[in-house]
Amino acid sequence: MKMNEALSIKIDACFSPHLYPVYKDQESIVVIIDILRATSAICTAFEHGAHKVIPVATVAEARDYKEKGFKVGAERDGIMVDGFDFGNSPFSYMGDQVKDQTIVITTTNGTQAVEAAKEAYKVVIGSFINITALCDWLIAEKRPVLLLCSGWKNKFNLEDALFAGAVTEALTQKTEQFKCGDACLALKYLYQMAKQDPVKFLKHSSHKERLAKLNLKKDIKYCLTPDLSSIIPVLENGALVRLPVKSYLESAS
């Protein structure tokens, strides 16, 4: 590979859905990241057999789906909204209640990020749960990548940044084709400091403190566990579905 072919594909990170308009382009694959807990929960639902996950931005939209008979998850400020079937704990998205089901979900941050990026070339869901499958696919696609961190109410958060750093490290270690934007350069360093013990690294973070109050230590540990799934959820016509295995294998070959 010539030098001008190497380092030719951009990977960058955006720390808030509110900043997405500044970063958006027509070319990039956008990876939605909401580690605690929406994107971890969505990946879990697919691993446990969910047919489709419809992300919606508002509780009102979620309620409309609930009235139509759908299974609906709704979370605000870390807590399940009354009258719905799930919050956003990944442990809710397991077993018979998700298997072969179409599930609707709205969360404080993650589904807002999906909404912001819905017009992108391609929108996929990332979490530690599916990180290796996601990274292998991103490398095979040979497209610019934008890691869109959901954050907390449009502010930067540490756990989404950590995951974006992990993806950046994986992509730049496995191939020389990616050129990091400044945010990814910073995140790669951050991940290198954190990777020996991510749970400890996050112990001072705002969101972990928030979740600890809600007694969700088990969720946090689960959400930081890599490679429980090899499914990549992708947005198609407003709903998340599994990225077809055929397309994945073809592009990886």
Name the site residues for a copy of itself (rule: CB under 8 A). 12-13, 15-16, 18-19, 22-23, 152-158, 161, 180-183, 185-186, 189-190, 192-194, 204-207
Q: Are 208 and 220 in contact (CB under 8 A)?
A: yes
Nearer to a copy of itself, 59 or 186 (CB): 186
Residue 6 or 193: which CB sits closer to a copy of itself? Answer: 193
Least separation in angstroms between residue 9's CB and a copy of itself is 15
Query: Smallest distance from the beta carbon of 161 to a copy of itself, in angstroms?
Result: 6
DSSP secondary-structure letter at 92? G
Pairwise CA distance, residues 14 & 100, whole Å: 33
Q: Which is nearer to a copy of itself, 50 or 183 (CB)?
A: 183
How many CA atoms, within 13 angstroms, populate the side-chain half-sphere of residue 141?
23
Residue 3 or 69 with smaller CB distance to a copy of itself? 3
Query: Is 215 in contact with 78 (CB distance < 8 Å)?
Result: no
Please report how the helices 38-47 and 110-117 are oriented relative to each other, as an axis angle in degrees rounded to 10. 90
Name the residue nearer to a copy of itself (CB basis): 99 or 203.
Answer: 203
Closest listed residue to residue 160, CA positions, set 198, 215, 124? 198
Q: In the bound complex, what is the minimum distance in angstroms from residue 185's beta carbon to a copy of itself?
A: 6
Least separation in angstroms between CB 117 and a copy of itself: 16
- Residue 204 or 246: the one with the smaller Cβ distance to a copy of itself is 204
Smallest distance from the beta carbon of 12 to a copy of itself, in angstroms? 8
Per residue, what are the HEC states of 7-27?
A: CCEEEEEECCHHHHHHHCCCC
CB of 187: closest distance to a copy of itself in angstroms?
8
The amino acid present at 159, given as its one-letter code, is E
Minimum CB separation from a copy of itself for residue 26, in Å? 17
Secondary structure of 34-67 in HEC code, one letter for each residue: CCCCHHHHHHHHHHCCCCEEEECCCHHHHHHHHH
Element (H, E) at 146: strand 145-149
**C-beta of 13 vs 105, nearer to a copy of itself:** 13
Residue pair 190/162 in contact by the 8 Å Cβ criterion: yes
